[in-house]
Structure 1
Amino acid sequence: MKNLVILGAGTAGTMMANHLVSKLPKKDWKITIVDQYRTHYYQPGFLFLPFDIYSEKQVKKEGKKYIPKAVHYIQKKIERVIPEDNTVALVDEILNYDILIIATGSKIAPDEIEGMNGPQWYKSIFDFYTYEGAVALRNKLRTWQGGKLVVHITEMPIKCPVAPLEFAFLADSYFKKKDIRDKVDITYVTPLSGAFTKEKCSKSLSYLLKEKNIKLEIDFAIERVDYEHHKIIDYVDNEIEYDLLVTVPTNMGDEVIGRSGLGDDLNFVPTHQHTLQSLEYQNIFVIGDATNVPASKAGSVAHFQAETLTDNILLYIKGEPLKEEFDGHSNCFIETGNNKALIIDFNYEHEPVEGTFPIAGFGPLKLLKESVINHWGKLAFRWVYWNMLLKGISIPFVGRNMSTKGKKLN
């Protein structure tokens, strides 16, 4: 019997387990998935935790519940991958593989910036990209009476590139509801040359920052945090003062990738951007945030990747050429506050475009346009995630590749 091993039981790994369990012949293949953590988090929900929109119970469940029973589940720490031997070393056993799928995700690395993960971490400096950070920030915001709020991105790439902007927009609404918006000065600080990661979005949606009185600081390459004087400082000694710093630290691939010598400087695995095969080892495939492909690190991307990767695993087993099919497709809801949201749809080739989604000419969602229905679509995605996405069920009318029908491409 041959062995297919999946490293990581997060969004991407769980989806692959569900896709493959019904497609690989059980008499020939054993599927094993490994993850050291028991809890599965709905990470898009971390954005809502600080504002008491979601509760803690709504963003976490037992991960094993979503792994098919026919898949061998191991809850242990992964020490390293030894690709030359086709083995994975766990804390107390060795796994052999014929095919390896790396779905180890990414995580924040606040230690990369001097002073960030210091005495003020979770006191006046917070992240919301972790469950612990989002809960700590929620507790802080419940009693915070105002001052200088700085929402900051350290460097790209990051998971869900629009989430920091969403946080700033939701903060504006949150403080208005608490009737202290006039006591809060919000500044959005980015290393990019515009507020959005996509140029077209920055041009067409910059009005949102002005409308909400959110200051914008661009091209800010942070060097250190002066937590004693409540300042962030960049490499040319520009300083921005804060009373409350909500930062997105450097995002890096899992440490196991570094220990295994499989990654780049940020521990992301060099991956063919269309086939999702490792550039170095033919029997290793990579999915989700663990890759270095130039697509967004978001759940929707992993969902689209999983469909192509499933096909390519089956083709690889047959010895046939892989599909160079994945086009970087991503769609994303952007909360803009006041119970409204935008939705964007794009891929490697096309920037976010105007049009209708998911059905061409009908919608019911409109791209790059604020609406209440988009907001409810964002909130409904949590149900879709737990009941469809993780289980490998296709979302109606949303194809793995970006459709250009009903969209203005120029």
Structure 2
Amino acid sequence: MRRLLILGAGTAGTIAANKLRRLLGADDWQITIVDQRGTHYYQPAFLFIPFGRYRPHKARRKAAPLIPDGVTRIQAQIDRVDADARTVALEDGTVLPYDYLIVATGTSPHPEETPGMEDDWHGAVHSFYTFDDAVALRKALAGFTGGRLVVHISEMPIKCPVAPLEFTLLADDYFKRRGIRDKVDITFVTPLSGAFTKPVAAAAFGDMLETRGIAVEPDFMIESVDAEARKVVSFDEREVPYDLLVTVPVNKGAAFVGRSGLGDELDFVPVDHHTLRHAEHPEIFAVGDAAAVPTSKAGAVAHFELDVFPENFVRIINGEEPVESFDGHATCFIESGAGKAMLIDFNYDTEPLPGMFPVPAVGPLPLLKESRFNHWGKLAFEPVYWSMLLPGRPLPLPAQMSMRGKRVPA
């Protein structure tokens, strides 16, 4: 009997377990998943929790019922992978052998990577990239009556790269609804050249922050946080003062990836961008946020990857060449406040373009345009996530990005 080991029971790992259990015969394959948390979080909710628009308890469920029958679930911390011996050592001393390994352990924020960032954590310095951080920020925002709000990105890549921009726009709307927007200065601080870096998107939304009175500090490579003076400092000695800092810390993959010699400098797993297969260890794959591929680290990417990957995996283990190719497809809603959102659809080679999605001319979701339909689409995705995406049921969206319904501006 051959052994498939999946590391991580988040979005990508759970979908992989459900889809591959159906494709691999139970008499021929033993599938095991290592769950390091025991709790599954609906992470898009972390954006809404700070503004009091989502009840925190709804964002988490027990992970065990989400894993299919016929897959052995082990809840434990992972120590390291021995790729030569094809074993995974857990921190409790258990050693798990495998014939094939899928790394799906995601990414997580690391505020300790930036000097001073942790000195006033959950004081005047906050984030919303974990459940606990989102809940703490909810309390901080409720008590914030005015001053300088700075929304900051440490460096790329990060989970859901549009989320800091969404937070900034939702904060503008939040303070307007509270009647104190005139008492709050909002600054968006980014290591990129601007809030929108793709030309077509920049042309469509270039003045969005300016018209809302939101300042942008681009090309800001953070050196430290001065928690006592309440300012962020860049390597070129620029300083941005704050009364409330909402930061996105450095994002890194799982530490065991680095300890195992399988990762890049941020502990993400380098894989072929189209097959998700490790170049040096062909029996190892990485999916979801754990994979070092040049597209967004987001749930939509995990969804589209795992529309392609399972059938490719079956072909590979049968000694055949992969047929399907993951093209970097990503679809992201961008909340913009006042009950509206934008939508972008892109891949490795094609930047976000205007048009209609998912049906050409019909939509009903407009691309690169604010719309209530887009906002409703984002809210409606939650039941789809729990009932269809995680169980690996088919969704009526093509894995490959389509140019149908899109317009290429002159």
**Could you tell me which residue of structure 1 aligns to residue 317 of structure 2?**
317
Q: Deviations over 1:299-348 (max 9, x none)?
A: 00000101211011101111001236100000010000000000100001
Q: Find the aligned partners of 1:73 and 1:199 in 2 and give their Cα distance.
A: 45
Query: 1:222 is aligned with what amino acid?
Result: I
| CA deviation string 1:336-371 (max 9, x = no partner) | 000000010000110001111011221011101101
- Summarize deviations over 1:10-34 as a string: whole Å, max 9, x none: 0000000011111101100011000
Q: Deviations over 1:189-225 (max 9, x none)?
A: 0000010253432232122102211111100001000
* Mapped pair 1:116 → 2:117: yes
Equivalents in 2 of 1:272, 1:28: separation in Å? Answer: 27
Aligned pairs (5 A) from 1:359-370: 359-370=359-370
Q: 1:400 matched to which residue of 2?
A: 399
Q: Distance in 2 between matches of 1:55 and 1:201?
A: 32
Aligned 8 A contact 1:126 1:247 in 2: yes
Q: Structure 2 CA distance, aligned partners of 1:158 and 1:198?
A: 17
Shift of 1:272: 0.3
Structure 2: distance between partners of 1:224 and 1:129: 20
The alpha-carbon deviation at position 92 of structure 1 amounts to 2.6
Tell me the secondary structure at the aligned position of residue 58 of structure 1. Answer: helix
In 1, the alpha carbon distance for the partners of 2:152 and 2:93 equals 40
Q: Which residue of 1 aligns with 2:329?
A: 329
Query: Shift of residue 373 of structure 1?
Result: 1.0
Moved more, 102-111 or 201-210: 201-210
Indicate if the aligned counterparts of 1:161 and 1:197 stay in contact, CA closer than 8 A. Answer: no
User: Match of 2:270, SS?
Assistant: coil
Alignment partner of 2:6: what SS?
strand
2:77 is the counterpart of 1:93: no
1:10-409 equivalences in 2 (<5 Å): 10-90=10-90, 91-118=92-119, 120-323=120-323, 325-396=325-396, 398-409=397-408
Same amino acid, percent of matched pairs: 54
Q: How many angstroms apart in 1 are the aligned matches of 2:198 and 2:152?
A: 17
SS in 2 for 1:161: coil
Cα deviation, 1:254-279, whole Å, max 9, x if unaligned, reads 11111111101000111100111012
What residue identity is the alignment partner of 1:179? G
When normalised by structure 2's length, the TM-score is: 0.98
- The one-letter amino acid paired with 2:56 is E
Which has the larger displacement, 258-267 or 200-209?
A: 200-209
Task: Give deviations 1:134-167, integer Å, cap 9, x for gaps.
Answer: 0000011111111100000000011101000000
- Does the residue aligned with 2:172 lie in a helix, a strand or coil? helix
Instruction: Supply the distance in 2 between the matched residues of 1:107 and 1:197 (Cα, whole angstroms).
Output: 24
Find the aligned partners of 2:280 and 2:196 in 1 and give their Cα distance: 33
Q: Any idea what SS the aligned residue of 2:309 has?
A: helix
Structure 2, unmatched stretches of 5+, are none
CA contact (8 A) 1:308 1:323 kept: no
Contact 1:350 1:409 in 2 (8 A): no
CA contact (8 A) 1:35 1:74 kept: yes
Q: Which runs of 5+ in 1 are unaligned?
A: none
SS of match in other structure, 2:279:
coil
SS in 1 for 2:115: coil
**Secondary structure, counterpart of 2:149 in structure 1:** strand
CA pair 137-362 structure 1, distance change in 2 beyond 3 A? same
Deviates more, 1:46-55 or 1:316-325: 316-325
Which portions of structure 1, spanning 4 or more consecutive aligned residues, are displaced by more than 4 angstroms? none
SS of equivalent residue, structure 1 residue 22: helix
Give the counterpart letter for 2:24 in structure 1. L
- Cα separation, 1, equivalents of 2:167 and 2:309: 32
User: RMSD value over aligned CA atoms?
Assistant: 0.9
| Alpha-carbon distance between aligned partners in 1 of 2:331 and 2:212, rounded to the nearest angstrom | 24
SS in 2 for 1:258: helix
Please state whether the residue corresponding to 2:272 is helix, strand or coil. Answer: coil
Q: Which amino acid aligns with 1:386?
A: W
